């Protein structure tokens, strides 16, 4: 079992809709969680991080963390074609462990 699991997708959403991405982790010692966006051929770009249970909003992005269920999610509101990318979830203990990523496709 991988330490951080994500559905590989592709997750296809119409423009203007909400994209919902999920991530589960196995290490209960993980303290913080990160979402990175990676465009094809580019390096990962940090878009959000969350440490505490609950929701954290930043612009069109909302991260949700439930440590009891070992579950992290990312919501992208008003999805735009420019949001089409692979989204990587990462859990931090003494190092960052990445999931395999979810490919998101926003269709105009």
Partner 1 sequence: KAGVTQTPRYLIKTRGQQVTLSCSPISGHRSVSWYQQTPGQGLQFLFEYFSETQRNKGNFPGRFSGRQFSNSRSEMNVSTLELGDSALYLCASSLSLGDTEAFFGQGTRLTVV
Is residue 71 close enough to count as binding partner 1 by CB under 8 A?
A: no
Q: Which is nearer to partner 1, 20 or 38 (CB)?
A: 38
- 33 SS3 class: strand
Q: How far is the CB of 29 from partner 1 (least distance, A)?
A: 13
Site for partner 1 in 1-20 (CB under 8 A): none
Q: How far is the CB of 103 from partner 1 (least distance, A)?
A: 12
d(CA 91, CA 27): 8
Residues 6+ apart with CB under 8 A from 59: none
Number of shown-chain residues binding partner 1 (CB under 8 A) = 20
d(CA 83, CA 39): 9
- Which residue, 65, 76, 53, 56, is CA-closest to 25? 65
Site for partner 1 in 73-102 (CB under 8 A): 88, 90, 92, 94-101
Site for partner 1 in 33-62 (CB under 8 A): 34, 36, 42-46, 49
Give yes or no for a contact between 106 and 84, defined as CB atoms under 8 angstroms apart: yes
Binding site for partner 1 (CB under 8 A): 32, 34, 36, 42-46, 49, 88, 90, 92, 94-101
């Amino acid at each position: 079992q991988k330490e951080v699991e994500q559905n590989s997708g592709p997750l296809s959403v119409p423009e203007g809709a909400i994209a919902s991405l999920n991530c589960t982790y196995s290490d209960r010692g993980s303290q913080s969680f990160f979402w990175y966006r990676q465009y094809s051929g580019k390096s990962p770009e940090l878009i959000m991080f969350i440490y505490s249970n609950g929701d954290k909003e930043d612009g069109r992005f909302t991260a949700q963390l439930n440590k009891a269920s070992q579950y992290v999610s990312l919501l992208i509101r008003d999805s735009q074609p420019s949001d089409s990318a692979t989204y990587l979830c990462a859990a931090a203990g003494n190092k960052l462990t990445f999931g395999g990523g979810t490919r998101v496709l926003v269709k105009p």
